[in-house]
Every structure is written in C-alpha cells, then in structure tokens.
Copies of this chain bind each other. A is one copy, B any other.
C-alpha cells in the first residue's frame, strides 16, 4: 500500500514519506531504521503501548505519572467538563484545578481503555464463512464467530475484548483492553486559552492553543497504579527532531477504490455537510437567543463546527481532480487483475446509494436528533435482543458490549429539554425535507402535527431523562411503556432494522470484495502495509518541521500578538485569570508546533514522544492541507499540530499555579 499511496502524492519526494498509522504488532522497524537510524525495540514499544490510553468518547491520551494521571486534549474532555458545569460554576469558562485529591471530580459515563495484547484471529473468523453462504448468512456467521471469540476472551481474561476488522476485512485481530470507568477531572485550563481562536483558528496554522487537560484513572476508589507512564520533557522537541505518536486514529479511507471516493465526493460528504450546515446554524441561532442557551449548546456547536471543517476539508481534497486522477492511476494495476472485485465494490456503492438517505435518517437516527430518542431505541432493542442467542444479537447488545452500553445508558448527565426540543424539531424538519411530508412513514412519525409541535410533544412528554426510570425499563422491558419517545422508536423500528440488515448485507459483499483486493496487495507488497484507521492503537513517526514560510513552532509572544490584532474580542479573548497573568508568560516559550506525523481524528490527545520515549508534545489537530490525508497522506503542506510540552508547563506555572500537578510530573 505504501507504493500505491506514494503515487497519490502530487510531488514525488526523494526519501520515503513519513507515512503510516502502524499496528503495534507490525511496527515500522525497517523504515524508521533506514531513514532515521533509530531502532524501535519491543521494550520501547511495550512501554509506549502501556502508557497509551483510549478515550471511548473518541480520543486518545497517555499516562504521565505512576498514579494514573492522564494527559489529553481539552477538546477531548470538553463534553465531560460541560456536563460537570452548572450555570453557577462553568468549568469550561473558568477552568478547574483540583487543589487536593479529594477535589478531583468524577466524570460519569466515561470509559478509558488501555491496550494489553493483540492476537491475530483471522483464520478462525474466515473459517466461519463458507462460499455457499449468502451475504446475509456470511455476515451473520462472521458476527457470530466474532461474538464468540470476544466472549471467550472476556470470560478467560476479564479484559474488554474486541475483534477488530483490518484491511476492510483482510485481517481480524483480537484486542484486549484494561478498562477504567472511574475517571476524575484533575486540571483543565479555561476554554479561551485551550481553544484560543475558536472555530476561526480550528484546523488552521500558525496556532496558539493550550489544548490540554488532565484526568486521573481510579481503581477501587484509589488512583490507578501505572508504572509505564511517560516521563515529561521540559525542553520538548527541537526543529527537525524525530518524534512518534501513539494514539487511536478513528477512520481513514485510503483503501477505498476510485468509485467509492466518487460516491463520497458526490453523495456521502455533500449529504453530511448539508446536515452539518443545518445543525450549526440552528444551534447557533438558538444559542444567540439567551446566555443560558449558549452555555447549554456550547459543546454541541463546537462539535458541529469541528465536523464542518474536518469533513469540508476532506471533501475539498476529493474535489481536487489531481487527487482523483492519482487515485485512478494508482489502482490501474490492481484493477487489471482484480476487475471482478472492483466491479463488485462499485455495484455495492450504487446499491447503497439507493438506501443511504433512508438508512441514515431512520437507522442512523438523523431524523430524531434528541439523545432521548437514542435512549428510547436502546431500551426497546435491549429488550428484543435479550431474547436472542448472544451471537445473533446486534453487536451493541452482545454480552461483550454490555458494560459499555449500560455505562452510557445510565450516565447521570444533565438533559436540557429545551435544547432537546430544538434538535428534535430540526431533525424532524430534515426528515420532511428528505423524504417529503407525504411519505407514509413521515406522516406516521409526525402524527398529524408540524415538526415543531411534534418535537415539543415528544420531548415534553417523555420521562426518559429520569435515570431510575431508565433502569426500571431496562430491567423490566418497555412493552408496557406508553412513553411517547419509546412509542416513536417502536414505530420506526421495523423499517430501521430492515434498512440496517440490507446495509449489512451490502457491507458484507463489500468486505468480501475488499478482502480479495487486500490479498492481492499483500501478494504484491508483502505485509509492509498498514491498514486503514479503526480507532485502535497505532504508531506514527515524523519530524518537527514547518512548510513553506510557516515556522515549525509558535510561542506565547505570537498568541499575544494575535489577541491584540483582533482587538481581544471573542474568539481571541482571554479569561480574567489569563489576562491577569499574560504579562508573566515568557513570550519566547514555544506553545504549539507542527510535525509530519500521519494522524487523523481520534488521534486528539495522543502523546508525542522522542527517541527516549519522553513526552514532548500533545497532538490536538491537523492543519487544513492535512485533511485530504483521510484518502492520501501528504507531507507537502499537511501537518499534525501539537501543544509543546514546555508550553504546557509555562502556563501551569505562571497562569494556573498548578503546583500539585507540576510536582507529580517531576517539577
């Protein structure tokens, strides 16, 4: 795949690119040795793996002390921090520092995972599928054997056990994780410093963000014992220095065929962007009405804006004819030998297109934008799925997923019914726009009312914001419930499930075709090939390096300049605490830096380490030119963006007086 992807680069580079999101059981030992003269040893790798943390809300982190102290991004923790806030104590606006261990704040609903082992189970999974099975049968068989493997592993080890599909079905690896569910907030800077420049500067560079925050993992009410933590480097990286990241890139599509990319470019991404533009506008309009609205909707807006730039950037990449031409050329050879598989992939895409919108609306839930609908559907399906053998259930209801499911379902988070109503009304209106108000299912959903009226009725009427009631319905079933949100979930469930089954059969055909293509690639290129990202632990390497006229790092002096040039108004303003101490900050201390590491969404919060395995930075973003890397890595101008380890120390000392944490870090 390296060879193929290299062809995608518009500019040929003499040395091989710093490309790759490498599996920890297939690390890039040779290329790193050749290019940088550094030997990745098993011990070095094991230490890094044990120090790496997955945030199940979609990010990464690392242990930075032996007492379970975890470093991640502010924006990874922000959703949790918002939930810990009240109108009186807004931890996003004010930041938070736990003065003593007793002040560390539990975060309900958060699960962290630390990868303990990887086992290749490809043969066992493949053996379950036979050529005479229909796609639906093959999919069910694969799901059943995966569930069995996961259950066996969990029963045997007590560890969370996930079978991960790699190479779009070319391989299956069993990942076993230590699970931490008692996680507490230790220190977080105020959001104005963490996300300085807000959406305006998001994905841009130069950048001036202190996008960090600290949690602590607890076990049995005591700080977790984490001997394999990363030692903090006070100096950070030098320009041109080799650095590694260890994190959980969520998804890439580098193995996609040209036809798949065309569907994404012309259908998938435009549809998603349409939803994002709508959601961002509706949420901002509601937030603008009232200060308390703004507080309640803040994180939802930030999430939408981030998605707009991320997906918009990927779409822009695909709209570059040069990228598509290179992709086309790169697959010419494989297409010649694997024409049938390529054609099958294309056919699957065409068939998926026909159901994609209905699938997203009804099964993806885009028609029902309130989190309370998700609760209702989960309760409804939990009851129905419980009656089936484990391997035949929808994966999220299998025994191996139960703990995570319940953690999520019973998380005691604030539910703002006014915000839920706004989201529900917007999504029901979107449903009408997409299917037409005379669609029979739409008419049933709206029950003779306008989307606004119906949304108000559903959200006002439901009692699913009551956690004890959720527990009771989860334990006793919802058959007797007349909750309106449960009734809605029931109303659409047949069609939603049918669409999902249809999509799964198509996915299975897609997986089989891609597995064929992947095998052909292996034959051509050996296993010096990394798979597309799957929100599992990956290693990447690169160097701290600018591009064009853009310097490799920024500093506090640059932050103050941008603040002043923009008149100090939002999103370039400072919190009172920051404003009071800005003069104490050394303007020469580095704040953010860029490197050529191959990352994507999900890598947020990943540690950046040097050859000695010391923490020198904290990944928090890619720049705009890097966004096309979902389809093809480029180091021409594409860069990973990190907070500099020295920058974090400077602010903790001069602005936040976080002495207790600094001491724990060894300072």
Contact A281 B308 (CB under 8 A): yes
- A600 at the binding interface (Cβ < 8 Å): no
Instruction: Report Cα–Cα, A266/B435, bound state, in Å.
Output: 8
Contacts of A315 in B (CB 8 A): 429
Contact B291 A308 (CB under 8 A): no
Contact of A319 among B277, B290, B308, B450 (CB under 8 A): B450
Work out how many copies of this chain go into the complex. 2
Contacts of A200 in B (CB 8 A): 285, 288-290
Contact B320 A199 (CB under 8 A): no
Q: Which residues, 23 to 80 on A, are CB-close (under 8 Å) to B?
A: none
- Within the complex, the shortest CB–CB distance from A327 to chain B, in Å, comes to 13
Q: How many of chain A's residues have a CB under 8 angstroms from any CB in B?
A: 46
Q: Which residues, 332 to 353 on A, are CB-close (under 8 Å) to B?
A: none
Instruction: Report Cα–Cα, A320/B198, bound state, in Å.
Output: 38
Q: In chain B, what residue has the closest Cβ to A566?
A: B291
Q: In chain B, what residue has the closest Cβ to A198?
A: B288
- A298 at the binding interface (Cβ < 8 Å): no
Contacts of A290 in B (CB 8 A): 200, 566
Contact A319 B451 (CB under 8 A): yes
Contacts of A289 in B (CB 8 A): 200-201
- A521 at the binding interface (Cβ < 8 Å): no
Q: What 0/1 readout, one digit per residue, does chain A (273-287) give for beta carbons within 8 Å of chain B?
A: 110111011001100
- A636 at the binding interface (Cβ < 8 Å): no
Contact (A288, B321) CB under 8 Å given A277-B278, A281-B280, A429-B315: no
- A179 at the binding interface (Cβ < 8 Å): no
- A316 at the binding interface (Cβ < 8 Å): yes
- A526 at the binding interface (Cβ < 8 Å): no
Contact A437 B266 (CB under 8 A): yes
Contact A281 B291 (CB under 8 A): no
Contact A451 B284 (CB under 8 A): no
Instruction: Report Cα–Cα, A265/B284, bound state, in Å.
Output: 24
- A471 at the binding interface (Cβ < 8 Å): no
Contacts of A281 in B (CB 8 A): 276-277, 280-281, 308
Contact A450 B284 (CB under 8 A): no
Q: What 0/1 readout, one digit per residue, does chain A (247-284) give for beta carbons within 8 Å of chain B?
A: 00000000000000010011000100110111011001
Q: Which residues, 309 to 337 on A, are CB-close (under 8 Å) to B?
A: 315-316, 319-321
- A438 at the binding interface (Cβ < 8 Å): yes
- A571 at the binding interface (Cβ < 8 Å): yes
Contact B316 A451 (CB under 8 A): yes
- A440 at the binding interface (Cβ < 8 Å): no
Contact of A262 among B276, B438, B448 (CB under 8 A): B438
Instruction: Report Cα–Cα, A305/B280, bound state, in Å.
Output: 13
Instruction: Report Cα–Cα, A143/B515, bound state, in Å.
Output: 64
Q: Which residues, 563 to 582 on A, are CB-close (under 8 Å) to B?
A: 566-567, 569, 571
Q: In chain B, what residue has the closest Cβ to A318?
A: B437
Contact B291 A569 (CB under 8 A): yes
A–B Cβ pairs within 8 angstroms, 14 of them: A199-B288, A200-B288, A200-B289, A200-B290, A201-B289, A266-B436, A270-B433, A280-B281, A281-B281, A281-B308, A285-B308, A288-B571, A320-B450, A320-B453
A contacts, CB < 8 Å to B: 198-201, 262, 265-266, 270, 273-274, 276-278, 280-281, 284-285, 288-291, 305, 308, 315-316, 319-321, 429, 432-434, 436-438, 446, 448-453, 566-567, 569, 571
A-B contacts besides A319-B432, A319-B450, 7 pairs, CB < 8 Å = A274-B277, A274-B433, A277-B277, A277-B281, A280-B281, A291-B567, A316-B451
